[in-house]
Amino acid sequence: MTDDVLDHSRRKFFHFGAAALFASLTTSHAMAQSVSNKLKIGVIGSGHIGGTIGGLWVKAGHSVLFSSRHPEELKPLTDSLGPLAKAGTVGDALDFGDVILVAVPYKAIPELAKDYGPKFAGKIVIDPANAVARRDGEDLLKETKEKGIGATTESYLKGSHVVRAFNSMSYTHFVKEAHRAGDPMAIPIAGDDERAVQVASQLVRDAGFEPVAVPLARAQEFAQGGPLYGQQLTGKALRERFGLAK
């Protein structure tokens, strides 16, 4: 399962690839799910996960500001998505979004807190970041295991309402399975703030999946290494695995 950091050339390739993907997606299903509550979403880290999930939200009618430390590299992605997609800096994404997707290597979360801390207060943060020792460091991985990964993100991004989501499998499955025919693929999500969980659930549906929500502490069960990591299940099967009422 690929879950690695991209170097610049690979990232550029991904953006062109994503452009082709979104241009070729038949939008009928996604657009038919017209979003009554259109949101302003800031994406921090517009790589595999940020580009894919943010793109699905644009297709569903949300306004998305994709950000990068090199925003000029995002033009192929935003051009392919049309006027609801904009590119900017990380600060622009935080100013723009009521909801922020932090699709960055986990070690970037403390860095974002240091550089932009107060801007996260009051935001709904959707967190797909996995902590991986070789990339993010043993200490941070240990911290996520001891405190719980959702609580760790919340402890850095103070005042935000964190919902863990879209972390449990490769982005390639999100590309392939969004809005599939028949039972949608389930996405486990975890959060404690009721409104944030409601908004995140709607965004999971708008992306073409079925949300199955548990409290933030249970994010460990679908964190990398957890029993539900990598599982592609229907909503019914995932609720059973969580031991939730059907």
Ligand X SMILES: NC(=O)c1ccc[n+]([C@@H]2O[C@H](COP(=O)([O-])OP(=O)(O)OC[C@H]3O[C@@H](n4cnc5c(N)ncnc54)[C@H](OP(=O)(O)O)[C@@H]3O)[C@@H](O)[C@H]2O)c1
Structure tokens, 239 = 């609720």
- Describe the strand order of the beta sheet including 63-67 as a list of residue ranges: 85-88, 63-67, 40-44, 99-102, 124-127, 161-164, 186-191, 210-214
Q: Which of residues 46-65 bind ligand X (CB under 6 A)?
A: 46-50
Taking Cα atoms as reference points, which of 106, 74, 107 lies closest to residue 90?
74
How far apart are the C-alpha atoms of 208 and 194, rounded to whole Å? Answer: 21
How far apart are the C-alpha atoms of 163 and 220, rounded to whole Å? Answer: 12
> Minimum distance from CB of 163 to ligand X (Å)?
14
Structure tokens, 85 = 């997609």
Q: Is 183 in the site for ligand X (CB under 6 A)?
A: no
Structure tokens, 137 = 């460091």
Q: Is 69 in the site for ligand X (CB under 6 A)?
A: yes
Site string for ligand X, 103-122 (x = CB under 6 A): xxxx-x--xx----------
Q: Is 221 in the site for ligand X (CB under 6 A)?
A: no
Q: Is 2 in the site for ligand X (CB under 6 A)?
A: yes
Q: Is 86 in the site for ligand X (CB under 6 A)?
A: no
Stretch that binds ligand X, among 4-12, 22-30, 58-66, 198-206 (CB under 6 A): 4-12
Taking Cα atoms as reference points, which of 74, 68, 97 lies closest to residue 22?
74
How far apart are the C-alpha atoms of 23 and 15, rounded to whole Å? Answer: 12
Taking the least distance from each CB to ligand X, the nearer of 17 and 61 is 17
> Minimum distance from CB of 127 to ligand X (Å)?
9
Taking the least distance from each CB to ligand X, the nearer of 34 and 172 is 172
User: In the set 88, 128, 150, 191, which binds ligand X (CB under 6 A)?
Assistant: 128
Strand, coil or helix: 211? strand
Q: Which of residues 153-172 bind ligand X (CB under 6 A)?
A: 167, 170-171
> Minimum distance from CB of 187 to ligand X (Å)?
11
List, in sequence order, every residue forming a beta bridge with 88; answer none if it has no partner: 67
User: In the set 30, 129, 140, 149, which binds ligand X (CB under 6 A)?
Assistant: 129
Q: Residue numbers of the site for ligand X (CB under 6 A)?
A: 2-3, 5-6, 11, 44-50, 68-70, 90, 103-106, 108, 111-112, 128-130, 167, 170-171
